[in-house]
Structure 1
Amino acid sequence: MARPELILAYEPVAACESRLLAEGYSAAATAEIASYLAQSTDLAPEFDAIADACGRRGIRFVPVELDAARSVLAARNPGHCLVWTLTDGIAYFRGSAIPALARLGGHPVLGSDDAVFALCQDKFRSGAVLGALGMPVPNAGLCRDGAWIPAPPPAPLGYFVKPNRLGAKIGIWPDSRCQDLAEAEALSRRVFAAYRDDVVVQPYVPGRDVRASFLAVDPLADVERLGIFFVDSGGDFQTMADSLALYGDTGAAARASNTYAEPELIPVARSQPVADRRIREIASQLMRGLGLRDVFSMDFRVEADDTVHLIEFEVCPGLPCFDFRGYCLREWGLGLADAMAETAACRFAC
């Protein structure tokens, strides 16, 4: 009988860069956009460790670049494999096609429904759906090259501006928190010129950044296995420069020169147990109502009075990132390679 296979599909940075340059993006914008795929760069040196961890559990590990995924899946027996999507995207990146491709071939997938992969990459639309589900999301506007589609509500504390399809960090500058709509329009024009993207304009919400991570190593795991941590990076919000310093080639260079510094992970329950419980309730609602499962992350702002603001969710969290590694170790007592292998082994056992 053939050994079961864990197929990890990912989009490499170089492939994305080549495509964006061919589409006319500037070299600077291309480098920033493609850096969001840094987890594929960061995880590649650990493929041998993941293969070893899988091998000890009777599983063959097969990392597959995105452009080869169609032929690889076509040659696989759906009854003997499990597909795990490492990098997603619907605009600048293409990884969200993998769950749909797997479904087309009848291959089982680890993670949420393929529709959710596309939804979470459009921050305005996902925010609208989250609002309809009663989630505590800031009421956002959408602006395209300075033109409103619609405008956001009044905001006494000003606004926060971010690209709509590039996540919460890409292209965000230190002045991305602004005071009025005229400044937001100007930021929209800057983003459109650099990235050809709309911007989500949200009322600024105070508080500390919180990351909630989830991996169902045990298929029966529920929100009690969610890891909820303050992520204090030293600033009010993380900029593009902050993100680049942590991941990919820049992060590797910082580690080599001993200048790498990770934000501290502090359990929310330690100081704000009420907020911790509220976040678990939100995650439970989204697992039931939105179809989040297996592996995901959520970003929040939490105020001192335990007010919780849901900012966004991701179905392809950065597995090799410091926060997800910390979660696997603290919650499951496993390094990343063993956590991935054990998750796959439990699925095959089921």
Structure 2
Amino acid sequence: MTLTIGLTYDLRSEYLALGYTELETAEFDRDDTITAIEGALGELGHRAERIGNGRQLAAALVAGRRWDLVFNIAEGLHGIGREAQVPALLDLYEIPYTFSDPLVMSLTLHKGMTKRIVRDAGVPTSDFHVAETGADAEGVGFGPPYFIKPVAEGTGKGISPASILRDRAELAPACDRMIRIHRQAVIIEPYLPGREFTVGILGTGASARALGTIEVHLRETAEPGVYSYVNKAQFEERVFYRLFRPGEDPVVDRAEAVSLSAWKVLGCRDAGRIDIRCDADGRPLFMEVNPLAGIHPHHSDLPIICKHLGFPYLSLIQTIVDSAASRIRKTA
């Protein structure tokens, strides 16, 4: 079936031209990402139409433009619900789209809210505390070492070796600095010294499955101890990834089980990633979920997993579209 598929995205080059900084636009997409998706959709026999960001989508909808499906990778710019803005508009006009709905997008951007949900569902995760101010850090009920990061960012924004704190006395001033820089609350967790995994997930609900898992290894050239913003941005020089297949490592099998449970509990759809880190006893714990994972064919974690597995980029796009297309209403 040939579909007319609109593409919604936040193009980094457009925001840089408007005067936004490299850090402010870190989560936005490169021009070649959109070209790659557009090309893949064409190869699959669909008609791809570029729409753009949320404001451009709103204008297009008001002007009467419609699509069978929208391939949505728009991150949004403002507010805790920024990743939900495009899905909410599409729901308003009853246009199906790829990836998760507004509820999931808003919830999962807030790392503290997400961990409350998965913890209550029995998914293993670490202790945590959300601090709106540095003074709130006084309420932390666990000991050092600590790990702090902005509560609602992706792409490693705000994460560096300075996120690891060995002394409780450092906690309040470090949180104050992070809150001031990123203008949002901070989540405080125990620093987990064990192995770190990224698990790729495909599918929705009962059909969801773990696609594959890569273990993150930091090279000697990397910032130590943490999969930081800089390490992610320069992964080719600073990081190497080891792929695991089912049954090769019992810890990885457990990490995939934890990830799949979290994915289903949160109601995520079509494809995405879950990050897992092990504690000092080697137990895999849920860290966070990305239901709107990067989709650059060479530089994003989910396609990197696919590449290691020999799963072509075209097949990834087809799998996402097929999953989302099941939500297209059948008309008589």
Unaligned 5+ segments in structure 2 are none
Shift of 1:117: 0.4
TM-score for both structures, normalised by structure 2 = 0.83
| More deviation, 193-202/165-174 | 165-174
Structure 2 residue aligned with 1:9: 8
Counterpart for residue 228 of structure 1: 213
**What's 1:160 paired with?**
147
* 8 Å Cα contact 1:213/1:324 also seen in 2: yes
Equivalent residue for 2:232, pick from 230, 233, 243: 243
| Whole-angstrom CA distance in 2 between matches of 1:293 and 1:106 | 17
User: Quick check: 195-204 or 8-17, which moved more?
Assistant: 8-17
The partner residue of 1:333 within 311, 316, 321 is 311
Select 1:264's aligned residue among 236, 240, 247: 240
Displacement, 1:132? 1.1
Counterparts of 1:92-241 in structure 2 under 5 Å? Answer: 94-148=82-136, 151-155=139-143, 157-167=144-154, 169-216=156-203, 221-223=207-209, 225-234=210-219, 235-241=224-230
Cα distance 1:135–1:92, how it changes in 2: closer, same or farther (>3 A)?
closer
Q: Does 1:344 align with 2:331?
A: no
Instruction: Please give the residue correspondences for 1:41-120 in structure 2 after superposition, counting only pairs within 5 Å.
Output: 41=30, 44-66=31-53, 67-74=55-62, 75-77=64-66, 80-87=68-75, 91=79, 94-120=82-108
- Pick closer, same or farther for the CA change 1:312–1:343 going to 2, 3 Å: closer
The one-letter code sitting in structure 2 at the alignment partner of 1:35 is A
Letter in 1 for 2:286: L
Q: Which residue identity does 1:177 align to in structure 2?
A: I
The answer as to whether partners of 1:84 and 1:109 remain within 8 angstroms in 2 is yes
* 2:23 matches 1:32: yes
Cα gap change, 1:160/1:315 in structure 2, threshold over 3 Å: closer, same or farther? Answer: same
In structure 2, give the amino acid aligned to 1:329: K
Whose helix fraction is larger, Structure 1's or Structure 2's?
A: 1
Q: Deviation string for 1:67-121 (max 9, x for gaps)? A: 211233453445x223423435662783421111111110112212220101111
- Partners of 1:8 and 1:64 within 8 A in 2: yes
Question: Equivalents in 1 of 2:46, 2:216: separation in Å?
Answer: 34
Q: Displacement, 1:322? A: 4.3
Deviation digits for residues 165-205 of structure 1 (CA, Å, limit 9, x no counterpart): 12372122322111233211111111122222221111111
The residue number in structure 2 matching 1:256 is none
The CA deviation at 1:288 is 3.2
Residue 288 (structure 2) aligned to one of 290, 294, 312: 312
Q: 1:232-277 deviations in whole A, cap 9, x for unaligned? A: 123321223223334xxxxxxxxxxxxx426222134589622222
Q: CA deviation at 1:65?
A: 1.7
The Cα RMSD (Å) is: 3.1
The whole-number CA distance in structure 1 between the counterparts of 2:17 and 2:131 is: 28
Residue matched to 1:280 = 256
**Could you say if the C-alpha distance between residues 304 and 265 of structure 1 is closer, same or farther in structure 2, counting changes exceeding 3 Å?**
farther
Q: Tell me the CA shift for residue 33 of structure 1.
A: 2.8
Identity of aligned residues (%): 20
**Could you give the per-residue CA deviations for residues 105-159 of structure 1, whole angstroms, max 9, x where no partner exists?**
101122122201011111111111121111221111122331207722222x410
Contact 1:219 1:347 in 2 (8 A): no
Corresponding residue number in structure 2 for 1:249 = none
Q: CA, structure 1 residues 12+50, in 2 after alignment: closer, same or farther (shift >3 Å)?
A: closer
SS in 2 for 1:120: helix
Counterpart residue identity of residue 260, structure 2: S
Counterparts of 1:278 and 1:205, CA distance in 2: 17
Distance, in Å, in 2 between the alignment partners of 1:187 and 1:295 is 35
TM-superposed CA distance for 1:347, in Å, is 5.0
Question: Which residue type is aligned with residue 186 of structure 1?
Answer: P
Checking the alignment, whether the CA contact within 8 Å between 1:219 and 1:346 is kept in structure 2 is: no
Instruction: Name the CA shift for 1:275/1:286 in 2 (closer, same or farther; >3 Å).
Output: same
Matched residue, 1:299: 275
Name the CA shift for 1:71/1:131 in 2 (closer, same or farther; >3 Å).
same
AA matched with 2:24: I
User: Which letter maps to 1:32?
Assistant: L
Between the two proteins, the alignment pairs up a number of residues equal to 319
1:100 and 1:153, CA in 2 relative to 1: closer, same or farther beyond 3 A? same
TM-score (norm 1): 0.79
